[in-house]
Amino acid sequence: MHEYSLVEALIGRVEAEARRRQALAVHGLSIRVGELAGVDPELLRTAYETFRAGTVCERAELRLTTRAAAWVCPSCDAPIERGAPLRCPACEVPARLVEGSDALILDAIDLEVP
């Protein structure tokens, strides 16, 4: 259940940004979660709904996009079949994780500023 500590870090970051820009309110935030981020998106959402009350995120809608994991060969770029060994059968080199597959990123915050 580390989703709760992630939400704590997330809200803390939003608070710092809102303070820095003297925002009056936060209206929304966008986050990106890759399949191999080690985070259950639904649990993360539940944790956010639980913890946002009484914080700067109280009225901020959470926009969450997910991304499936993908591995490719670093030399020929051929995709590795899902569930297959993580090695290119043709080039015989270890596969590379496609960027975003393990992302856990705060992309943007909508701030209401004076």
Work out whether 59 is an interface residue with another protein (CB under 8 A). Answer: no
* Nearest distance, CB of residue 53 and another protein, angstroms: 20
Buried b (16+ CB within 10 A) or exposed e, 28-52: ebebbbbbbbebeeeebbebbeebb
The residue from 19, 24, 42, 68 that contacts another protein (CB under 8 A) is 24
Is position 89 an interface residue for another protein (rule: CB under 8 A)? no
**One residue of 12, 76, 78, 90 binding another protein per CB under 8 A:** 12
Helix (H, G, I), strand (E, B) or coil at 16: helix
CA distance linking residue 11 with residue 54, whole number of Å: 11
**Residue numbers of the site for another protein (CB under 8 A)?**
1-2, 5-6, 9-10, 12-13, 17, 21, 24, 27, 31, 36-39, 71, 83-87, 94-97, 102, 104-114
